Amino acid sequence: MYDLPHLDLPPLNSAAGTVRLPGSKSISNRVLLLAGLAAGTTAVHDLLASDDTRVMLDALRALGCTLERDGAVLRVTGLGGRLAVHEARLFLGNAGTAMRPLAAALAVLAATQGGRFELSGVPRMHERPIGDLVAALRPLGCTVDDLGNPGYPPLRLSGQAGGRLATELPIRVRGDVSSQFLTALLLALPLVADERDIVIEVDGELISTPYIEITLNLLARFGIAVRREGWQRFTIPRGSRYASPGAIHVEGDASSASYFVALGALAAQGDDVVRIEGVGLDSIQGDIRFVDAAQAMGAQVYGGPGWLEVKRGRWPLAGIHLDCKQIPDAAMTLAVMALYADGPTRLTGIASWRVKETDRIAAMAAELRKVGAAVVEGPDFIEVSPPLQWQPGVIHTYDDHRMAMCLSLAAFNPLAGGNCPVRILDPKCVAKTFPDYFEAFFGLVGAADGAVPVITVDGPTASGKGTLAAALAAALGWQLLDSGALYRATGLAAQWDGVAPDDEAAVARLAAALELRFGQGSEAGRVWLRGREVTDDLRLEATGALASRVASLPAVRQALHALQLAFRRAPGLVADGRDMGTVIFPGAPLKVFLTASAAERAARRHKQLMAKGIPANMIDLRADLEARDARDTSRATAPLKPAEDARLLDNSALGIEESVQQVLAWWQQSGPFGSPP
């Protein structure tokens, strides 16, 4: 996950490859609540791991459910409809899918079994309405106290054991603000349906009916067969009781799929295709209907059970007019696809956007305008006309995961005449539903040669290049190229194969066929050569000396050239070595040349070795360093020297943090978003 103040997306122009989607948020939290209320143990497969599911899991644990992880499976042992804990304070973040159903379930349980529960969330959660649900619960006999503004969380739900609920008459609930109120009642009322049928009637037009279908579908999996008449009247049959299905699989998130469908529609051309796994045309999620809307705009979509494949069809996309009541979340993605259309796109029926994680109509209008679009907004619609002139946008995300994911699509502006980077503020807000969204995104996208920024860090042995480069890459969320490791691995391969380090042709052949793998994620920093881990072997002084020898052979340098260029991938690259700025990335927008006195470098290397328990002698070390510097600087091909436009950084007296800050400051000044923050 990108835990950075902002993430800069370079101008992008292609997309291809496969993405496996995380589990659906809507299904995950419903399944968790049902499993938590049911008797017995439910093995939940492919549960979404995100902020919204974490608060639900915390709540279930606090209520006395047993949760056991078993690899990718979570086993939930439920309460069997009986409260195990009668008092709790539950913090539910900004998860509407936790707040609404838990409020209903705990109101009903407290009213009949006795208890006192307080539900709260982040400040935005306290601005998201829940009054219509409370208004449906109170006439039943539930005690619901507003602890803040009436009609909004936080709430207290309480009652005495032995209380009875007035379920004889139909329970009325509004359906036109959020379908989650009806979902909450449908999930909670089977708890009190022992003696008679319970009828729920919807006032006003029910929005987002696909989400109600998910609710009914999952209730059926847990043994509750709700009868429905149209979208107006729902009956929970007498004697209903949750029964665990034993095991249940959470399908991939169809709303999250929309970003990748859009990627394909925008940028998968020729033989390229974006393949999406985990959700397919058989999905029970309403947002799968986004596919129809994307096709109407021009996408080519193929699919089957559990998969979709998407590529560009019509270009530019067609502007559309669409009522989006059935796909409220995925509709946001259409608003951004509208940037690439041949005319305005008008999305209606989206009043619910105003009560989501943020006021999404206002937020979308403001941010799309920043990249150059003309936007008209109304109480329940948005109309987007594509930019005449693209601008680099600094995108606010309003702590709304979908704003961040949607606006990442604006980086494809080179496909529509732009050449602008997009800065996404607070990118980690995607953790609400898709913590690794940007990693997945960067895994698929491509940029024009030269569009991906590179910072080069060159310098002599033991100048601290490696440490500085790794810290910069982490701070920026960029790729890292430790080019020295390529020469070291080549030296090692020569040693393994008994090839003399000055046999230019033979060593170059080894270099061209290096089977080298750099660890990612939890394996970052580790390296494998021909399947064998060489992390420690690569750092040996002897390997360094060997590397310096093979690095002086022009054919070896040539053989490693293309491999090094391939590290230049979005969102950016920090490359360290000797000739990064002079030979490999001569057009890099920021080049740093590190220096430090030989005495200082020898002292640092000495400290490193001693820390590892390797005996070393300062005088010998210094002599080795100087010999290696002499060889690296005096060789004919790509000698060690600063590029003409390099910034010199003498870090003899600087700590690593100061060096990092200095380079980041240079980058901020020279980068596309201009002056220092």
Do residues 344 and 338 touch, judged by C-beta distance below 8 A? yes
Among residues 554 and 676, whose Cβ is nearest to ligand DC? 554
Residue for token pair 């998407």 = 310
Which of 148, 156, 106 lies closest to 128 in space, CA to CA?
Answer: 148
> Shortest distance, CB of residue 463 to ligand DC, whole angstroms?
9
Among residues 210 and 464, whose Cβ is nearest to ligand DC? 464
Q: Which of 329, 400, 576, 629 is catalytic?
A: 329
> Shortest distance, CB of residue 552 to ligand DC, whole angstroms?
7
Do residues 96 and 180 touch, judged by C-beta distance below 8 A? yes
> Shortest distance, CB of residue 542 to ligand DC, whole angstroms?
12
> Shortest distance, CB of residue 578 to ligand DC, whole angstroms?
4
Helical H segments across 299-400, by residue range:
331-337, 360-370
Q: Which residues contact 504 (CB under 8 A, 6 or more apart)?
A: 553, 554, 555, 556
* 444: helix, strand or coil: helix
Residues 629-658 that bind ligand DC (CB under 6 A): 632
> Shortest distance, CB of residue 624 to ligand DC, whole angstroms?
10
Distance of CA 523 to the CA centre of its chain: 19
Residues 194-223 that bind ligand DC (CB under 6 A): none
Among residues 160 and 634, whose Cβ is nearest to ligand DC? 634
> Shortest distance, CB of residue 70 to ligand DC, whole angstroms?
42
Site string (538-557) toward ligand DC, x via CB under 6 A? ------x--xx--x------
Query: Which span sits near ligand DC by CB under 6 A: 118-126, 172-180, 577-585, 650-658?
Result: 577-585
Angle between helices 290-297 and 254-267 (to 10 degrees): 10
Q: Which residues contact 206 (CB under 8 A, 6 or more apart)?
A: 175, 176, 179, 182, 212, 231, 232
Which of 165, 174, 163, 221 lies closest to 200 in space, CA to CA?
Answer: 174
Read off the tokens for 106. Answer: 């705990």
Among residues 193 and 580, whose Cβ is nearest to ligand DC? 580
Do residues 294 and 260 touch, judged by C-beta distance below 8 A? no
Among residues 356 and 488, whose Cβ is nearest to ligand DC? 488
Query: Which span sits near ligand DC by CB under 6 A: 228-236, 467-475, 571-579, 588-596?
Result: 571-579
Query: Which span sits near ligand DC by CB under 6 A: 41-49, 429-437, 575-583, 585-593?
Result: 575-583
Q: Applying CB under 6 A, which of residues 577, 591, 601, 663 lies at the interface with ligand DC?
A: 577
Which of 310, 305, 299, 261 lies closest to 283 in space, CA to CA?
Answer: 305
**By CB under 6 A, residue 628 contacts ligand DC:** yes
> Shortest distance, CB of residue 129 to ligand DC, whole angstroms?
59
Among residues 245 and 544, whose Cβ is nearest to ligand DC? 544
650 is catalytic: no
Q: Which residues contact 433 (CB under 8 A, 6 or more apart)?
A: 22, 25, 48, 50, 51, 52, 253, 255, 256, 401
Among residues 208 and 483, whose Cβ is nearest to ligand DC? 483
* 228: helix, strand or coil: strand
Q: Please tell me the distance from the alpha carbon of residue 253 to that of residue 377, in angstroms, as a whole number.
A: 28
**By CB under 6 A, residue 578 contacts ligand DC:** yes
Helical H segments across 371-460, by residue range:
401-407, 437-444
Residues 478-537 that bind ligand DC (CB under 6 A): 483-484, 487-488
Query: Which span sits near ligand DC by CB under 6 A: 94-102, 428-436, 572-580, 601-609?
Result: 572-580
Q: Please tell me the distance from the alpha carbon of residue 371 to that of residue 364, in angstroms, as a whole number.
A: 11
Among residues 51 and 576, whose Cβ is nearest to ligand DC? 576
Site string (435-474) toward ligand DC, x via CB under 6 A? --------------------------x-------------
* CB-closest chain residue to ligand DC: 484
Q: Which residues contact 275 (CB under 8 A, 6 or more apart)?
A: 17, 18, 19, 307, 308, 309
Active site residues: 329
Residues forming contacts to ligand DC in the complex (CB under 6 A) are: 461, 483-484, 487-488, 544, 547-548, 551, 577-580, 628, 632
